[in-house]
């Protein structure tokens, strides 16, 4: 595997024209006009015109920016080596710092394979031509995580209602558990809205929010508990530093997939790499066993992300692409 590549995220006119046929006369649904969805599965179709396919010598992979990128460059090392074997291509790891940069990188043709977090998946699908096909799961096939609202002992917050008049940390506006789900739940179940009933602040990432609460910088935060579990396992924080006051239903976790216009044969090789990767003894197992994940299972965006799209609708989120 090659060293990490630092990508320029500005989308050049050449890249955009070379990777998309703009304003196509075909069904789009919520997709940007450059994509087609003739089969109604809600994701961009692979172009039927082979001249629109891309076949890069070097594949670029990114993992969602939920935690320290340096940790995950190491965690993904064995998988990316395996991906090189399966595709016969060099693979570079792109350490994204935020969701917007990750989506823009794929939209501009500079990112080929990626894991987008739960809340960013709809934006990546609709604006960047992302085709998700797998998520991580436990050995028995169970998958997902919950959104939790946490505080620290002695904060004076014993219930969700106690957040009124105080500050609450979110991660970023595109995050499901870090913003969209808690916003919808707080409004629907507790009649509480940001700015009106409490002061919202944005930490950027789940680990920042969790550390912020543990260190008493934030009185409360909405976070993905899978991230918190891994941080507890690595002893980044201890159980006596945080207290949970709310736990949601289970949501799908990070969705992995490819950009729509990769050469079809290459897309199949990448799928095969995910589904045949040997987890046992790998760097992926070492890291993700901390959140009880042990394999990649097949999924589809239309069904698995239905609840997330409903949360977006409740929040008035539009998938319009700038």
What are the tens digits of pLDDT across the range 11-68? 333 344 444 444 568 998 889 999 999 999 999 999 999 999 999 999 999 998 866 7
- Are 113 and 214 found together in one domain? no
Same domain membership, residue 259 and residue 129 = yes
- pLDDT at 111 > cutoff 50: yes
Whether residue 309 sits in one domain with residue 164: no
Where does a domain end: 235, 251, 267? 251
Residue 188, domain member (yes or no): yes
Q: pLDDT tier at 279 (50, 70, 90 boundaries)?
A: very high
Q: How far apart (Å, rounded) are the C-alpha atoms in residues 148 and 178?
A: 9
| pLDDT, mean of residues 198-224 | 96
- For the stretch 84-98, pLDDT in tens is 999 999 999 999 888
**In the chain, pLDDT over 70 holds for what percent of residues?**
91
In this structure, the answer to whether residues 18 and 88 fall within a common structural domain is: yes
The residue out of 209, 234, 251 marking a domain boundary is 251
> Quick one: pLDDT at residue 8?
38
Pair (134, 280) in one structural domain: yes
Radius of gyration of the chain measured on its C-alpha atoms: 20
125 and 48 belong to one structural domain: yes
User: To the nearest whole number, what is the mean pLDDT of the chain?
Assistant: 90
Quick check: 217 pLDDT over 50? yes
The answer to whether 130 touches 124, Cβ cutoff 8 Å, is: yes
**Are the C-beta atoms of residues 241 and 81 closer than 8 Å to each other?**
no
Indicate whether 132 and 150 sit together in one domain.
no
In a domain, residue 322? The reply is no
Q: Is 6 a domain residue?
A: no
- Whether residues 117 and 186 share a domain: the answer is no
pTM beyond 0.95: no
pLDDT in tens, 131-169: 999 999 999 999 988 999 999 999 999 999 999 999 999
Would you state the torsion angle of the CA atoms of residues 45, 269, 64, 315, taken in this order, to the nearest 10 degrees?
Answer: 20
Instruction: Establish if 7 belongs to a structural domain.
Output: no
Residue 140 CA: distances (Å) to CA of 97, 136, 292: 32, 11, 10
On the question of pLDDT at 307 being above 70, the answer is: yes
Domain contains 158: yes
* pLDDT-above-90 percentage for the chain: 75
Residue 192 lies in a domain: yes
Q: In which region does residue 189 sit, left (phi positive, over 0), alpha (psi from -120 to 50) or beta (all else)?
A: alpha
How many domains is the chain partitioned into structurally? 2
- Both 20 and 137 in one domain: the answer is yes
Task: Specify the pLDDT at position 147.
Answer: 94
Check: CB of residue 2 under 8 Å from CB of residue 91. Answer: yes
Pick 8 or 76 by higher pLDDT: 76
Residue 10, pLDDT > 50, answer no
Q: Is residue 321 part of a domain?
A: no
**DSSP output for 55-90:** --SEEEEEE-TTS-HHHHHHHTHHHHHHHHHHHSSE
Domain, as residue range, for 217: 145-251
Helices vs. strands in the chain: H and E counts, helices first: 12, 11
Above 80 in pLDDT, residue 114? yes
Q: What is the CATH number of the domain that holds 284?
A: 3.40.190.10
| DSSP per-residue string spanning 258-270 | EETTB-HHHHHHH
The pLDDT-based confidence of 300 (bands split at 50, 70, 90) is very high
Residues 131 and 258 in one domain: yes
Return d(Cα 78, Cα 59) in angstroms, integer.
Answer: 15
Last-in-domain residue among 251, 271, 294: 251
155 and 233 belong to one structural domain: yes
Q: Indicate whether 108 belongs to any domain.
A: yes
Q: What is the pLDDT of residue 257?
A: 98
> Are 319 and 311 contacting, i.e. CB atoms less than 8 angstroms apart?
no
User: Residue 9: pLDDT above 80?
Assistant: no
Do residues 135 and 19 share a domain? yes
pLDDT at 18: 43
């Amino acid at each position: 595997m090659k060293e990490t590549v630092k990508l320029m995220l500005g989308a050049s006119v050449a890249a955009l024209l070379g990777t998309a046929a703009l304003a196509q006369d075909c069904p789009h649904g919520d997709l940007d006009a450059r994509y087609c969805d003739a089969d109604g599965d809600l994701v961009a179709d692979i172009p039927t015109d082979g001249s629109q396919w891309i076949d890069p010598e070097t594949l670029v992979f990114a993992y969602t920016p939920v935690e320290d990128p340096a940790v995950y460059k190491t965690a993904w090392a064995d998988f990316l080596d395996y991906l090189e074997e399966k595709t016969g291509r060099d693979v570079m790891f792109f350490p994204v710092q935020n969701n917007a940069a990750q989506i823009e990188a794929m939209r501009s043709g500079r990112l080929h394979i990626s894991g987008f977090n739960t809340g960013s998946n709809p934006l990546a699908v609709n604006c960047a031509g992302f085709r998700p096909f797998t998520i991580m799961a436990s050995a028995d096939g169970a998958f997902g995580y919950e959104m939790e609202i946490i505080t620290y002992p002695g904060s004076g917050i014993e219930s969700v209602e106690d957040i009124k008049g105080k500050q609450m940390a979110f991660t970023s506006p595109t995050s499901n558990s870090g913003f969209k789900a808690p916003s919808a739940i707080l409004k629907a179940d507790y009649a509480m809205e940001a700015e009106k009933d409490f002061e919202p602040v944005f930490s950027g990432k789940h680990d920042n929010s969790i550390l912020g609460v543990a260190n008493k910088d934030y009185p409360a935060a909405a976070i993905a508990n899978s991230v918190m579990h891994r941080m507890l396992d690595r002893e980044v924080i201890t159980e006596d530093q945080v207290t949970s006051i709310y736990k949601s239903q289970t949501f799908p976790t990070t969705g992995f997939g490819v950009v729509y216009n990769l050469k079809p044969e290459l897309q199949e090789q990448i799928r095969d790499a995910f589904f045949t990767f040997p987890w046992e003894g790998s760097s992926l197992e070492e890291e993700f066993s901390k959140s009880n994940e042990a394999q990649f299972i097949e999924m589809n965006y239309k069904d698995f992300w239905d609840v997330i799209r409903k949360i977006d609708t409740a929040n008035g989120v539009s998938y319009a692409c700038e």
